[in-house]
Chain A
Amino acid sequence: MELLDNLLLGLQTALTLSNLFYCFLGVFLGTAIGVLPGLGPTATIAMLLPVTFVLPPVTALIMLAGIYYGSQYGGSTTSILVNLPGEAASVVTTLDGYQMAKQGRAGAALAASAIGSFFAGTVATLLIAAFGPPLAAVALQFGPAEFFSLMVLGLVASVVLAQGSLLHAIGIVVLGLLLGLIGTDVNSGTQRFTFGMYELADGIGFVTVAMGMFGLGEIIRNLENEAGRSVMLTKIAGLWPTREEFKRMVAPILRGTVIGSALGILPGSGSILGSFAAYSIEKKISKHRDEFGKGAIEGVAAPEAANNAGAQTSFIPLLTLGIPSNPVSALMVGAMIVHGIQPGPSVINEQPALFWGMIVSMWIGNLFLVVLNYPLIGMWVRMIMIPYHLLFPGILVFCAIGVFSLKNATFDIYLMALFGIVGYVFSKLGAEPAPMLLAFILGPLMEEYLRRAMLLSRGDPMVFLRRPISATLLALAALAMLSVLLPSFSKTREEAFKE
């Protein structure tokens, strides 16, 4: 009954008036910004992150988690209504969701997405509650070698799942690791790569990098093909799915939840892999296979459930191991560090109220999403219609003031501008910026664990292969890398991204 006690503790934390309010605010702002064209979850969280710094840690993390679900859900809404996925994980939703909307069944598609997400979110929350503590107990046995190998696996997974060329994804990850090392070296006190600038002594802030690459870089990219961008909105009639549609949703949602939860735990994948996998499985086994791509409700329900389940279970490695598995959780790690919490296996024991409060509030946040979605859909639709040219100067203003507020330094504004150019140039060269942000956060951690592991082994690099868990993790990483090089897999990978 420990689980019940823990959930009760979580309820006590999550149900305080201020936490409920900030959870709601997070979900609301997240959805609102998520439905705006050209803003994905990463940019949204980076933009709103400085606002949460004034809150107490638990409340801040609850609000951030809310922003995350909200923006992801907002992304699904735009996928269905205007064929614009806010992020990679909702790309699949556009396939059948937009087709349904064109046939006037947008309401049913939105409902499938909401119900699927809510169900999956509930299951995934219970999974975190059940498996979080035992996993953290295992993680407490981890030595530096295991942590290092786990991070290698995480980075390899993010490379494998990145769009575009594998080689460039690896390159950008190594570059991210290097950028993460800028600043004062904790062991020796040496200032590395600071070029004598005292502003760089503390290193580059991750929010600065995220806002530059995902905020500014994205704006320049969007302005490039602005003329070809027109939003055609379809009519929404009948918000409720029919009885028949309900029946067709049940099995795909269940399958999507299972697939998404399982794949979400893998470091480096988050929710992207799950939604692709769930869609292709439904396409293979569904009775209505011929309708896929032409507006099959299964094609919306399954990936949306998987997407949300994965988004939630990706918090398992974050909360138990302290290892972010995608840019969004990398931002959460950064936020935790700002609040003086070192994410890792000890969080559960040392700060039970924070851990359980966050888990329960995730479920509450999902409930808010469903509740918000129906009465406010008219408002979201109007927000989707805001043309981009009226939007991006505002985004720029928020980024500039937000990044300034981190350290009250104009230097960070210049740095953000620089990363805006970097993000744009790399996207032009066909390298996706997401893995770089992950590597950027992991860089200093990896160095630290590498140092400790080598110190313990007296300089013998074989330690990473001699310890069973570490060896297994590295083997998995090698396997993931090899699988991409196999022609059959790399073909499906390409197809998956093309769809």
Chain B
Amino acid sequence: MIRSAKDFWSGLIYICLGSSAMIIARDYSMGTAVRMGPAYFPTLLGGLLIFIGTISVIRSFVVTATTIGAFAFKGIFLVIGATLLFGAIVRGAGLIVALPLLVIISAYASVHFRWRTTLIMAAGLVTFCVFVFVKGLGIPLPIIGAWLGG
């Protein structure tokens, strides 16, 4: 019976990541303790991580119950999704499209979402970013992207 969900799942994550590190590191040369190869330290750390993960999983059957609160899927989906979308289209469509989308989609994650304030906010941020970041600091992002003939 798993009594502590937090311990169980983080332990499992540690074990997975530790073993993948060790498995991937097998492609690199191990070297010796005197002349450590690129695989030496990662293998050491991977082993340590598996060890910690194992203790954590064992502990999850023993210690008093802790539960993981509900995940905010709406927040994750909208905030991360908006960021990924921004990265995908900013070069092609330009800031003038990508930035308002980032603002609107992420703002929708809030329970206080209103169209009016969000649009004003988007307009303000586009103006600010164009003048400060692109014109001022010279960050090479297109204002109007190639897809729109910019």
| A residues lining the B interface (CB < 8 Å) | 51, 54, 165, 167-168, 170-171, 174-175, 177-178, 181, 185, 187-188, 190, 192-193, 216, 219-221, 223-224, 226-227, 387-390, 392-394, 396-397, 399-401, 404-405, 408, 410-411, 413-414, 416-417, 420-421, 424, 426, 428-431, 446-447, 450-451, 454-455, 458-459, 461
A260, chain B: closest CB distance, angstroms: 32
Q: How far is the CA of A336 from the CA of B94 in the complex (A)?
A: 32
Which residues of B2-38 have CB atoms within 8 Å of chain A's CB atoms? Answer: 6-7, 9-10, 13-14, 17-18, 21, 24-25, 28-29, 32-38
Task: From the candidates A392, A454, A461, name the one contacting B110 in the complex (CB within 8 A).
Answer: A392
Given contacts A168-B56, A405-B133, A405-B137, contact A428 B102 (CB under 8 A): no
- A178 near B10: Cβ-Cβ < 8 Å: no
Task: From the candidates B32, B72, B87, name the one contacting A413 in the complex (CB within 8 A).
Answer: B87
- B34 near A459: Cβ-Cβ < 8 Å: yes
| Residues from chain B with Cβ under 8 Å of A417 in the complex | 80, 83-84, 87
Which of A168, A170, A223, A226 counts the most B-chain CB atoms under 10 A from its CB? A223
- A393 near B21: Cβ-Cβ < 8 Å: no
Residue on B nearest A177 in the bound complex, by CB: B45
- A396 near B82: Cβ-Cβ < 8 Å: yes
Given contacts A175-B14, A410-B90, contact A387 B112 (CB under 8 A): yes
Which residues of B36-73 have CB atoms within 8 Å of chain A's CB atoms? Answer: 36-38, 41-42, 45-46, 48-49, 52-53, 55-56, 59, 66, 68-69, 71-72
- A220 near B79: Cβ-Cβ < 8 Å: yes
- B68 near A429: Cβ-Cβ < 8 Å: yes
Number of interface residues of B (CB under 8 A): 69
B110-123 CB mask vs A (1 if < 8 Å, else 0) is: 11110001100110
- B68 near A428: Cβ-Cβ < 8 Å: yes
- B76 near A424: Cβ-Cβ < 8 Å: yes
- A192 near B42: Cβ-Cβ < 8 Å: yes
Residue on A nearest B41 in the bound complex, by CB: A447
- A396 near B102: Cβ-Cβ < 8 Å: yes
| Residues from chain B with Cβ under 8 Å of A413 in the complex | 83-84, 86-87, 90
Q: How far is the CA of A175 from the CA of B72 in the complex (A)?
A: 24
| Residues from chain A with Cβ under 8 Å of B88 in the complex | 410
Task: From the candidates B28, B59, B113, name the one contacting A389 in the complex (CB within 8 A).
Answer: B113
| Residues from chain A with Cβ under 8 Å of B9 in the complex | 429
Closest 4 CB pairs between A and B? A413-B87, A459-B34, A389-B110, A459-B33
| Residues from chain A with Cβ under 8 Å of B113 in the complex | 389
- A174 near B48: Cβ-Cβ < 8 Å: yes
Given contacts A405-B139, A459-B32, contact A428 B80 (CB under 8 A): no
| Residues from chain B with Cβ under 8 Å of A408 in the complex | 139-140
Given contacts A171-B10, A192-B38, contact A397 B45 (CB under 8 A): no
| Residues from chain A with Cβ under 8 Å of B69 in the complex | 224, 428
- A216 near B10: Cβ-Cβ < 8 Å: no
Residue on A nearest B5 in the bound complex, by CB: A429
Task: From the candidates A171, A220, A388, A396, name the one contacting B72 in the complex (CB within 8 A).
Answer: A220
- B118 near A393: Cβ-Cβ < 8 Å: yes
- B87 near A400: Cβ-Cβ < 8 Å: yes
| Residues from chain A with Cβ under 8 Å of B133 in the complex | 401, 405
Which residues of B106-136 have CB atoms within 8 Å of chain A's CB atoms? Answer: 106-107, 109-113, 117-118, 121-122, 125, 129, 133
Q: How far is the CA of A405 from the CA of B55 in the complex (A)?
A: 42
